[in-house]
Amino acid sequence: MLLHLALLFLLSIAGATSLGINYGQIGNNLPPPDKVLDMLIALRITKVRIYDTNPQVLSAFANSKIDLIVTIENQMLAELMNPQQALQWVTTRIKPYVPATQITEIAVGNEVFSENDMTLMETLVPAMLSIHAALTQLGLSFIKLSTPSSLAVLEESYPPSAGSFKPEITGIMTQFLEFLSRTKAPFWINAYPYFAYKDDPNGIPLEYVLCNPNPGMVDPFTRLHYDNMLYAQADAVYFAMAKMGFEGIEVRISETGWPSKGDPNENGATIQNAANYNRNLLRRQMANEGTPMRPNVRLEIYLFALFNENLKPGPTSERNYGLYQPDGTMAYNVGLSSFKRTSSISLTSSAPTKGGIMGYYRSLVYWMFVYLLTYQVFMRRRF
C-alpha cells in the first residue's frame, strides 16, 4: 500500500506528464477496461497507447482526461488506402467517441518498416493520406497520424551521429517524413536497449543500458556525451532524419521496457534489471530530460507495458514486460531493487531542468519516495 502511495505522490507532485504507458490486451485474465482506468487514474498516468480501436476501451475511457493513442492493425492498411474506406473507418471507429474520449493520435500500423514486406510498406503513406483527409472532412484534424518503427529501420545507429535509414526504404521514408513534417506529427520509435544487451552482454555495459550512473560514451563526431543507450538511439533517429533533410520532426519513444523474466538464453531478463530500468526512466522524466542532441525538448516516453500478457507468443520475456500482474498486484517493486544503491545516484544530468527551485522539489520528492520505500522494507522485516 505504501508503495502505491509513494508512486502516486511521486507522479502527482513531480508532474510526470510526459510519461505514458502501453496497454496491451493479449491475455485471457486481464481486468476489464473500467478497472484498468481506475488503476491509471490512481497512478496519475495521463497518456496511454492501445493496439487497436477496442470499443470497450474507448467507451470506458470517456471523460477520463487521459490522452489516448489508438492503432490501426497492419493488415488494414491496404483497405484504408481507399478514401471512401478510410472515411467509413474514421466515421465508425473514431468519431463516435470524440471528444469525450481524448483520442489524440492514431498509430497507422506498427513497425511497418521492419516487416520486410515492401507491399505493406507501400500502403503506409497512401493510407495515412486517406485517413488524414477523412479526419479533416469530419472536423477531427487535430488528431495526429504517425507509425511506430523499430530500430531495425536504421542502417546505422552507432555512434548516434552515424544514424541513417536503410537505403532500400529511402523512397517511402522520404514520403513518410514529408507527411510528418507537413502535419507536424512526431516520429515514433520502439526502442529497447534490453535487446542490445541480451545479444551482447559482454560487450555492452549493463549500467549504460539500464540508465544507471556510468561513464557513458562520447560521440566522436559531435562530442556529445551519452550516459544511456535509449537517448543515443533516439538521437540516431534525429541524425538519420537530418541526413534526409528533415530536422524539425520530434522523436518520441512509443515503446521501451525491460522484461522481468526470460528464458535461460535471455541475458539480463530479471526483476532487478526491470525495476532499475523503469525506475530510472521515471526519474529522468521527472527531471524533464531531453536527449543530448535535443536537450530542451523533453523526450516523450511510453513504457511497455502496463500488464504481463499471458497469451503473447514468443520467448518467456514477451509475456513479462508488465509493471503489473493481471490481478492488479505489482510485478516488481519499482525502485526497491535499487534501494541499496541510492547513495550513488545523482539527479543531475547534461540536460537542463526547469530552474533550480523545480530541481530542488524534484529531489525532495525523490528522497521522500526513497524514505517511504525504506519504511516499507523495515515494516515487512519487522512483521
pLDDT of residue 19: 79
Q: Is residue 335 part of a domain?
A: no
Q: Is residue 60 part of a domain?
A: yes
pLDDT of residue 336: 26
Q: Is residue 265 part of a domain?
A: yes
**How far apart, in whole angstroms, are the C-alpha atoms of residue 92 and residue 106?**
14
Tell me 325's DSSP state.
-
pLDDT of residue 115: 81
* Cα dihedral 287→293→294→295 (10° resolution): 30
pLDDT of residue 102: 98
Please choose, from the candidates 282, 273, 287, 291, the residue with its C-alpha nearest in 3D space to the C-alpha of residue 341: 273
**How far apart, in whole angstroms, are the C-alpha atoms of residue 210 and residue 56?**
36
For residue 115, what is the domain's CATH number? 3.20.20.80
Tell me 309's DSSP state.
-
User: Is 255 marked active-site?
Assistant: yes
Q: Is residue 194 part of a domain?
A: yes
**How far apart, in whole angstroms, are the C-alpha atoms of residue 258 and residue 195?**
9
Q: CB of 239 within 8 A of CB of 293?
A: yes
* Cα dihedral 266→268→272→275 (10° resolution): -90
Please list the rounded mean pLDDT of every run of 10 residues in the chain (383 residues): 50 55 98 96 92 98 97 98 98 98 98 93 98 98 98 97 97 98 98 98 98 98 98 98 97 98 98 96 92 97 97 98 94 51 26 39 49 46 45
pLDDT of residue 44: 86
pLDDT of residue 95: 98
Q: Is residue 381 part of a domain?
A: no
Q: Is residue 225 part of a domain?
A: no
User: Is 111 marked active-site?
Assistant: yes
Q: Is residue 67 part of a domain?
A: yes
pLDDT of residue 120: 97
pLDDT of residue 377: 40
Number of domains in the chain: 1
**Which structural domain, as residue segments, surrounds residue 24?**
16-151+164-200+250-324
Given 115, 122, 168, 255, which residue is catalytic? 255
Given 79, 105, 111, 115, which residue is catalytic? 111
Q: Is residue 357 part of a domain?
A: no
